[in-house]
A and B are shown apart, each in its own frame.
Chain A
Amino acid sequence: MDKKATLKIFRGDTDGGELKSYEVETYPGMVVLDAVHDVQAKQEPTLAVRWNCKAGRCGSCSAEVNGKPRLMCMTRMSHFPEGEPITVTPMRSFPVIKDLVTDVSFNFEMAKKIPPFKPRPRDADGTWRMKQEDIDRIQEFRKCIECFLCQDVCHVVRDHQKTNFAGPRFLIHLATLDMHPLDTLDRRELVKDEFKIGLCNITKCCTEVCPESIHITDNGIIPLKERVADDFFDPVRWLVGKVAGGEKKEKARRLPVVGDRGASGSSTIKATPAAKRAKVE
């Protein structure tokens, strides 16, 4: 019953590379990640690929399969027409480190710039009461596995990596904080000025590739855009808000300053920075 399939996998590094063809035997339920591992074990032991859970939970094995951003562990080989080669390439928005592994440190740096959650005091009995229906929406956002496929497919991220545009992943995180019933920090000014939400023109590419089916644009980015717009451009809403006392959040105007306790240099997230790569001997 075993059939064969051909994989064309990108092999290369910062200096460039090429697609190489490999033949693998397929079996029931086989996913692209299985095929890549098969190549690694039997044909190309130095083939570089990230993975962890192999169940669609950790978001490590992001790549482009036949040009579409996907998790390799959730992409069945049987999804593709028999006999046609399957092309596996690294995420194109991030610099290649080697083969299918890319430098995603941009995302970890962005995560650090977002002022963290700051809750209101607990209720008198020491709990925080929240209605399930009030958190359903942000629980949807918190399904995010940080695969960064939305960042990969976002043309604004591709074009504006040097600006501070947060990208869909982090706009969703900002939306989560904004809609969190306990949070007390108003980040809307930052969302507009620092994280540049205005650059998103709602093409919904991110929503299409999200393996967790989060409605990134409709449920997250658009409401966040509206809230930012209301705050800055709608004097009537502003006045109503003032009178009703609806807005009590403390304003976060600056990006957080992270304390540096490291004895050997700044307290930074170190995710395979380009500078380090340059020093490879």
Chain B
Amino acid sequence: MSDKYELHEHDVLVIGAGGAGLRAAIEASAEGASVGLVCKSLLGKAHTVMAEGGVAAALGYVEPRDNWKVHFRDTMKGGRYLNQWRTAQLHAMEAPDRVKELEEWGALFDRTADGRILQRNFGGHKYPRLAHVGDRTGLEMIRTLQQHGIHCGMKVYMECTVTRLLVDAGTDQSPPKIRGAFGYWRENGRFVVFHAKSVVLATGGIGRCFRINSNSWECTGDGQALAYLAGAELMDIEFMQFHPTGMVWPPSVRGTLITEGVRGEGGTLRNKDNKRIMFSYIPELYASETANTEEEADQWLRESTSGIASKARRTPDLLPRDIVARAIHSEVKGGRGSPHGGVFLDIFSRRSAEDIKRKLPAMYHQFKELGDVDITKEVMEVGPTAHYTMGGVRVDPETQESRIRGLFAAGECAAGMHGANRLGGNSLSDLLVFGRIAGLHAAKYAKSQSVAPLDDGEIAEASREALAPFERVEGPNPFLLHEDLKDKMQTFVGIIRTEEDLKKGLEHLERLKDASARVHVDGNRHYNASWHQAVDMRNMLVVSEAMARAALARRESRGGHAREDFPEMDKGHFSKVNVVVKQTATGMAISEVPHPDPPAEIQEVLEDK
């Protein structure tokens, strides 16, 4: 087999074409950069299409009291104050402009009675804040960005997988510097080298590491692993969001997402005794702002959705996702779950059939077609599903640049914005705000640089690594290894963790790493699914190991990281550090970095009542 390659040159290479990647590519193009946009799938199919409920932005159209400060406060609280304050501040301040900009490019959000963008309630957001289009907001966003982006002059490389970043390692005096990326066309297996001045990683999440997950096949931690292997740092990688409401039955769709918008529209969680469960799980942190009776919760819902400044407190059904997910887990463990190991989500007794079909059409369709359930007449069965990773590549809040010069990251694969737990709706706004910032700074950086020369040895090594599975005569089947990994991560690094489990998990990961290094694939390089799976396994193993090790290091429970052996949120040490993972000569190294304190004026915003 040949190790020849195609060569493409760009100022800015964006890897990943979901919301963040497209937004970055649009911005870099607008700056006049020559932009290449690489995606593993066809354009417009990225996991952003699965985002349902909405995009959070303090537009203040439904609730005039809303503004960036309230959004910022909600975000920091939802993240249990482990977010990088500057990232969360930029996000809250810029999100409204990013949403309005989508309208400029043709997006059509649902409207208020006076013709402006309608906003809905969502978990952890004090006011109705999510601009939305029924329950298909992500589709609207990606299509808008795609239709705008293809006319901006960027070159799109579809069905192309990047396997290595190309980096000039630098010296003691000069930092490491990006010079491109190495990959292959999925269609024919031919190699591609992208020679670029800057690279933006926008590859999304890592959900495919878990047995029960809401993610598409693409979410295999590529950006996180590429950055780690190139010498960048990962941060907050122990925090995994289990979305409280995935489908649990039938087995074929276990884990498939049910939007939080169902609860935003009034849906309630109930156990087998038909009791609303969330009133029993209101944590101290949220007690003062959460309704403790059904009457108050319903009053709040009624008023807040009709533009009345409600004096009632928010329903506990819309507590942040980590709290709701663990509540469901407890109900099931306590024997009060639904027949298939979840709890019930009821919208049919709360809203008219017509409302449900209009506001939640995709949910109606999904349950009808795949679950034989008519949600206008029956309850849904729901349970937690691995959904989103708060951690990712450690970047500078102002520019989204990693410790490698010219390497940027945005969206789910970057860390800092969400701290220990992400609020629903903040991912779509994250994509827009930081996609733009990353694209802007990647283009600016590219303008200031001459391109670093390629290194033949580095390319030859990348090509050898990619072809290794073909060279072996026999070895494990990559699909079965992946199944094994999903089971082990679900069991040992899942929603509730212990030291013992995490250590067992790490033993399994060692075994899987060994097996993965011996993996064999048959056939040729022509659209070979088995080869693609083998390549993705390396990345999933990197992020799985990073997650297990970081989880072991954080001896407390906070947001998307719950330790049975350390059930409390630590007010001391662990409230002041972020866990960082980095590759060293001896393997994966874990360290703690101080969590930056906000300056006085931002602290005041945080403490404002």
Binding site for B on A (CB under 8 A): 13, 27-31, 34, 40-42, 45-60, 74, 76, 97-99, 101, 104, 108, 111-112, 116-117, 119, 126-132, 135, 138-139, 142-146, 173, 177, 180, 182-183, 256, 258-265, 267-272, 276-277, 279-281
Residues from chain A with Cβ under 8 Å of B490 in the complex = none
Residue of chain A at shortest CB distance from B107: A142
A11 vs chain B, min Cβ distance (A):
11
B115 touches A131 (CB 8 A): yes
In angstroms, Cα B215 to Cα A51, docked, is 12
Query: Among the listed B9, B253, B527, which residue makes an inter-chain contact with A55, where contact means beta carbons less than 8 Å apart?
Result: B253
Residues from chain B with Cβ under 8 Å of A98 in the complex = 187, 526-527
Residues from chain B with Cβ under 8 Å of A281 in the complex = 1-2, 4, 190
Query: Among the listed B2, B50, B133, B159, which residue makes an inter-chain contact with A142, where contact means beta carbons less than 8 Å apart?
Result: B133
B49 touches A256 (CB 8 A): no
B370 touches A48 (CB 8 A): no
B148 touches A116 (CB 8 A): yes
Is B575's beta carbon under 8 Å from chain A? no
In angstroms, Cα B34 to Cα A262, docked, is 5
In angstroms, Cα B46 to Cα A50, docked, is 12
Query: Among the listed A51, A263, A270, which residue makes an inter-chain contact with B217, where contact means beta carbons less than 8 Å apart?
Result: A51
In angstroms, Cα B370 to Cα A30, docked, is 9
> Which one of B149-157, B283-291, B376-384, B563-571 is at the interface?
B149-157
A sample of 30 cross-chain residue pairs with beta-carbon separation below 8 angstroms, ordered by A number, consists of A30-B250, A41-B480, A46-B530, A50-B42, A52-B45, A52-B46, A55-B366, A56-B365, A56-B369, A57-B362, A58-B50, A101-B527, A111-B147, A112-B151, A139-B110, A142-B140, A145-B49, A146-B45, A177-B106, A182-B103, A183-B106, A263-B9, A263-B10, A267-B153, A268-B155, A269-B156, A271-B156, A271-B158, A280-B188, A280-B190
Is B583's beta carbon under 8 Å from chain A? no
In angstroms, Cα B42 to Cα A97, docked, is 14
Query: Among the listed B136, B139, B190, B370, which residue makes an inter-chain contact with A31, where contact means beta carbons less than 8 Å apart?
Result: B370
Residues from chain B with Cβ under 8 Å of A126 in the complex = 100
In angstroms, Cα B480 to Cα A97, docked, is 26
Query: Among the listed A57, A99, A264, A276, which residue makes an inter-chain contact with B139, where contact means beta carbons less than 8 Å apart?
Result: A57
Residues from chain A with Cβ under 8 Å of B478 in the complex = 45
A141 vs chain B, min Cβ distance (A):
10
A261 touches B29 (CB 8 A): yes
Residue of chain A at shortest CB distance from B525: A280
In angstroms, Cα B155 to Cα A130, docked, is 34
Residues from chain B with Cβ under 8 Å of A143 in the complex = 136, 139, 361
Binding site for A on B (CB under 8 A): 1-2, 4, 7-11, 29, 32-36, 41-47, 49-50, 100, 103-106, 108, 110-111, 114-117, 133-134, 136, 138-140, 143, 147-148, 150-151, 153-159, 185, 187-190, 216-218, 249-253, 256-257, 361-362, 365-366, 369-371, 477-480, 483, 521-523, 526-530, 533
Query: Among the listed A112, A119, A127, A142, which residue makes an inter-chain contact with B143, where contact means beta carbons less than 8 Å apart?
Result: A142
Q: Which 5 A-B pairs have the closest CB atoms?
A: A29-B250, A129-B115, A45-B530, A117-B106, A29-B252
Query: Among the listed B111, B156, B527, which residue makes an inter-chain contact with A48, where contact means beta carbons less than 8 Å apart?
Result: B527
Residues from chain A with Cβ under 8 Å of B29 in the complex = 261
Residues from chain A with Cβ under 8 Å of B139 in the complex = 57, 142-143, 145
Query: Among the listed B2, B49, B185, which residue makes an inter-chain contact with A57, where contact means beta carbons less than 8 Å apart?
Result: B49
Which of A130, A131, A138 has its CB near the most chain B CB atoms (within 10 A)? A130
Residues from chain A with Cβ under 8 Å of B157 in the complex = 270
In angstroms, Cα B1 to Cα A98, docked, is 20
A118 vs chain B, min Cβ distance (A):
9
B249 vs chain A, min Cβ distance (A):
7
Residue of chain A at shortest CB distance from B134: A139
B527 touches A99 (CB 8 A): yes
Residues from chain B with Cβ under 8 Å of A182 in the complex = 103
Query: Among the listed A139, A180, A183, which residue makes an inter-chain contact with B133, where contact means beta carbons less than 8 Å apart?
Result: A139
Residues from chain B with Cβ under 8 Å of A58 in the complex = 41, 44-45, 49-50, 216
Residue of chain A at shortest CB distance from B477: A45
Query: Among the listed B46, B257, B370, B483, which residue makes an inter-chain contact with A41, where contact means beta carbons less than 8 Å apart?
Result: B483
A266 vs chain B, min Cβ distance (A):
8
Residues from chain B with Cβ under 8 Å of A180 in the complex = 106, 108
B106 touches A60 (CB 8 A): no
B571 vs chain A, min Cβ distance (A):
41
Residues from chain A with Cβ under 8 Å of B150 in the complex = 108, 111-112, 258, 269
Residues from chain B with Cβ under 8 Å of A145 in the complex = 49, 139
In angstroms, Cα B104 to Cα A144, docked, is 20
In angstroms, Cα B249 to Cα A27, docked, is 11
Query: Among the listed B108, B216, B527, which residue makes an inter-chain contact with A52, where contact means beta carbons less than 8 Å apart?
Result: B216
Which of B7, B50, B527 has its CB near the most chain A CB atoms (within 10 A)? B527
B477 touches A116 (CB 8 A): no
Residue of chain B at shortest CB distance from A148: B42
B41 touches A50 (CB 8 A): yes
Residues from chain A with Cβ under 8 Å of B11 in the complex = 263
B556 vs chain A, min Cβ distance (A):
35
Residue of chain B at shortest CB distance from A37: B479
A140 vs chain B, min Cβ distance (A):
10
9 more contacts with CB within 8 A, not counting A53-B216, A98-B187, A108-B150, are: A48-B529, A52-B45, A52-B218, A53-B45, A180-B108, A267-B154, A269-B43, A276-B187, A280-B526
Residues from chain A with Cβ under 8 Å of B1 in the complex = 281
In angstroms, Cα B155 to Cα A117, docked, is 20
A55 touches B50 (CB 8 A): yes
Residues from chain B with Cβ under 8 Å of A41 in the complex = 477, 479-480, 483
In angstroms, Cα B232 to Cα A141, docked, is 43
A49 touches B529 (CB 8 A): yes
Residue of chain B at shortest CB distance from A180: B106
Residue of chain B at shortest CB distance from A48: B527
